[in-house]
Amino acid sequence: MLVTGATGLLGSWLVPELVRRGAQVVALVRDASPRSLLVSGGWLDRIACVQGSLTDERLMQRTMAEYSIDTVFHLGAQTLVGVAKTDPVGTLEANVRGTWMLLEAARQCAVRQVIVASSDKAYGESPNLPYREDDALRGRYPYDVSKSCADLITSMYARTFGLRSAIVRCGNLFGGGDLNFSRLIPGAIQSTLREESFLIRSDGLYVRDFLYVEDAAEAYLCLAERLAADTTLAGEAFNFGLGLRLTMIDLVEKILAMMGRPGLRPTVMNNASNEIREQYLDANKARTRLGWTPRCHLDEGLRRTIDWYRAFFAGQSSPASLAALPAGQNA
């Protein structure tokens, strides 16, 4: 199995689960940051690693051919909305060109199946919520457009070339190991541990759906298993989320309460632009056609996540090390 984006948040949970289930995993690793949970957990010693970028056509073809890849989990992407605004070309290169390079290599090397990470962002702004899989993909902003494109290209490869591929559209993922402190949950936990008010970049009323990372990893595995057994799923997209409609403020206040700091109220900056105001998912198709159900609801997922960051920062030893990790821009 090939996993792209293996050192990211989702890859750091999916790869160990694949190894535990006895899979032979090859990871495409562009940046093997020592802080990645996959790297610090010693997992790179237990799998094969190919160093390089998705956009390297020869590398993608060589990897699939030399390792006789059967299944690909394509998670690799430039995932930060703020970075996508400052570097739209790099984001489109990684997310769109990187996806067609990967799918083309999979087609040429007769890979059996590919599971592609799209996102709820691929739907763009919509007056009709929750999102359902048949809704049009209307990304408007750089990251969202990159995901709409990657999603459509995947379905093109399935329908035109018969490449057995399926698409995952998740809400916001959260869990231990995410060191992108520009994301709301890691950022809010980090600020709270520093005894600082969390800066909410938007007006705090943006609405999002969420999914705990271990449930997301399970969703990818479930889809791969079902796709292997049922070719009618090829080209299909599936929403995965808890079906939540949480505002940023409500979520931050929940985190503060769970961390015993309810008085540390967030500061609303109200200077976000070019972002979808409201999004949440209908995951009924995944429940009925795949038999998928999330195991971890929001409170339990947050509890595990907070525990992970407490241990992580305790291991980093001092408050100075807390300050050493960039806070980035918050959601």
Ligand X SMILES: NC(=O)c1ccc[n+]([C@@H]2O[C@H](COP(=O)([O-])OP(=O)(O)OC[C@H]3O[C@@H](n4cnc5c(N)ncnc54)[C@H](O)[C@@H]3O)[C@@H](O)[C@H]2O)c1
Q: Catalytic residues, which ones?
A: 143
195 forms part of the interface with ligand X (CB under 6 A) = no
User: Is residue 18 within the footprint of ligand X (CB under 6 A)?
Assistant: no
Residues 6+ apart with CB under 8 A from 64: 2, 72, 105, 106, 108, 109, 111
Q: Smaller CB distance to ligand X: residue 76 or 266?
A: 76
Rule CB under 6 A: choose which of 60, 69, 73, 79 binds ligand X: 79
> Phi and psi dihedrals of 168, rounded to 5?
-110, 125
By beta-carbon proximity to ligand X, the closer residue of 139 and 266 is 139
Q: Which of 26, 27, 77, 272 binds ligand X (CB under 6 A)?
A: 77
Under the binding rule (CB under 6 A), the answer on residue 283 touching ligand X is: no
Sequence-ordered list of residues with C-beta below 8 angstroms from that of 315, at least 6 positions apart, any chain: none
Least distance to ligand X, CB of residue 58, Å: 14
- Exposed, middle or buried, 119 (CB in 10 Å: 0-12/13-18/19+)? buried
How far apart CA 44 and CA 77 sit, in angstroms, is 20
Contact 173, 211 (CB under 8 A): yes
Least distance from ligand X to the Cβ atom of residue 292, Å: 16
Which is nearest to 221 in space by CA: 19, 37, 78? 19
Our CB check for ligand X shows the closer of 54 and 69 to be 54
**Among the residue ranges 41-49, 170-178, 193-201, 294-302, the one whose residues contact ligand X (CB under 6 A):** 170-178
Find the part of the chain contacting ligand X (CB under 6 A) among 1-9, 219-227, 262-270, 294-302: 1-9
Q: Which of 170, 185, 219, 234 lies at the binding interface for ligand X (CB under 6 A)?
A: 170
| Interface with ligand X, residue 186, by CB under 6 A | no
List Cα–Cα distances, 258 to 100, 194, 200, 214, 263, in angstroms.
43, 15, 18, 20, 12
Give the list of residues 6+ apart from residue 79 with CB closer than 8 angstroms, or none.
8, 143, 180
Return d(Cα 22, Cα 6) in angstroms, integer: 17
Residues in 56-75 at the binding interface with ligand X, rule: CB under 6 A: 75
Q: Which of 55, 113, 305, 329 binds ligand X (CB under 6 A)?
A: 55
Give residue for tokens 């949950």.
185
Looking at the Cβ atoms of 35 and 159, the one nearer to ligand X is 35
Q: Taking CB under 6 A as the rule, which mask of x and - marks residues 262-281 in contact with ligand X?
A: --------------------
Nearer to ligand X, 31 or 225 (CB): 31
Determine the 3-state secondary structure of 62 from DSSP: helix
Closest to ligand X by CB, 246 vs 264, is 246
Interface with ligand X: number of residues (CB under 6 A): 26
The verdict on 30 binding ligand X (CB under 6 A) reads yes
Planar angle of CA 14, 17, 21, nearest 5 degrees:
135
85-144: which residues touch ligand X (CB under 6 A)?
Answer: 94, 98, 117, 119
- CB nearer to ligand X: give 89 or 229: 89
**Burial of 182 from C-beta contacts in 10 A (0-12 / 13-18 / 19+):** middle
- Spatial separation of the C-alpha atoms in residues 49 and 293, rounded to whole Å: 32
| 76-84, 222-230, 245-253, 287-295 -> range binding ligand X (CB under 6 A) | 76-84
Determine the Cα–Cα distance for residues 103 and 95; give it in Å rounded to an integer.
12
Q: Which residues bind ligand X (CB under 6 A)?
A: 4-5, 7-11, 28, 30-31, 53-55, 75-79, 94, 98, 117, 119, 170, 172-173, 180
